[in-house]
Amino acid sequence: MGKGPSQCRCQEIVGLLADYLDGSLDPATARRLQVHLEGCTPCVAFVNTYKGTVKAARHLKETDIPAELKDRLLSFLRERNVR
């Protein structure tokens, strides 16, 4: 088979997660995201963190994740990707 899952996709995955967890992602993209998650441990850890964050955020307010929070999660993911 070709190349493995490209790591540069991770940032795209992060951008799609909100819609994915919301169930509003189109099936084809959702499947791509799932496939990526199967081969990407950092992203799985990210999803778990993300879910926990959403839960925490909901506790405060029922709104979308602020861009600022997204950035922090993104940094978290990049940190994990370094090693």
- Contact characters 9-28, Zn ion, x per CB under 5 A: -x------------------
User: How near is the Cβ of 56 to Zn ion at its closest, in Å?
Assistant: 22
**Nearer Cβ to Zn ion (44/58):** 44
**Nearer Cβ to Zn ion (17/40):** 40
Cα 81 from chain centre = 13
Nearest-angstrom CA–CA distance, 82 and 10? 12
Question: Which residue type, as a one-letter code, is found at position 40?
Answer: C
**Nearer Cβ to Zn ion (10/17):** 10
Enter the tokens of residue 68: 């600022």
Indicate which single residue of 14, 17, 33, 43 sits in contact with Zn ion (rule: CB under 5 A): 43
Enter the tokens of residue 11: 């940032």
| 70 three-state secondary structure | helix
Question: If you ran DSSP here, which 8-state letter would residue 64 be given?
Answer: P
Residues that bind Zn ion in the complex, under the rule CB under 5 A = 10, 40, 43
